[in-house]
Amino acid sequence: MRIEHVIQGEFKASDDPEVTLTTILGSCVSTCLFDAIAGVGGMNHFLLPKGDSGASVQNRYGLLAMELLINELLKMGASKSRLQAKLFGGAMMDSRLGRIGDENGRFALAFLENENIPCISSSLGGTAARRVRFTPSSGAAQQMLIADHVEKVPEPVVEVGRAVDSDITLF
């Protein structure tokens, strides 16, 4: 089996049964599309739903990511009428980032609906990152949730009025 990583702004497609596509998602969304009859599929990984038409990082936006993946699958023999989708990601990783994950998920669902591509399964939202593995030739997908918390190093307890020996100078 050959593992191929799909990073932000990328998409990959394959008809090789030995290929597994993988990615790690936080607020980003990954769309896994496949045509079971043609035995072809692919994955994208987008950062934001849509952007300014003059933006230099267009490949990080959902609209272009979806179009590029669909076009690649059609070149490889897929039929748009047989495409099926699985969606992953869209978590709220940091409240300071707003609802980016939610917006990404809503965009992907709306895009698929507008293109008449059924979404047969999804795992969107929440607060946990995800590792996704997708076999494009069969459409099989696996997901592993990554802990939604970070272990904090306990701070030393200092009694008030007591000197602390330390190499650290506080200012």
Q: What are residue 72's DSSP bridge partners?
A: none
CA atoms within 13 A on the CB side of 108: 37
Contact in structure between 109 and 90 (CB atoms under 8 Å): no
Q: Can you state the percent helix, strand and coil of the chain, rounding each to 5?
A: 20, 35, 45
Closest CA to 62 of 85, 44, 46: 46
Residue 28 designated active-site: yes
From 6, 28, 48, 87, active-site residue: 28
Q: How far apart are CA 18 and CA 38, in angstroms?
A: 16
Are 101 and 26 contacting, i.e. CB atoms less than 8 angstroms apart?
yes
End-to-end CA distance of the chain: 55
CA angle 117, 120, 121 (to 5 degrees): 130
Residues whose CB falls within 8 Å of the CB of residue 71, separated by 6 or more in sequence, listed in order: none
Active site residues: 28
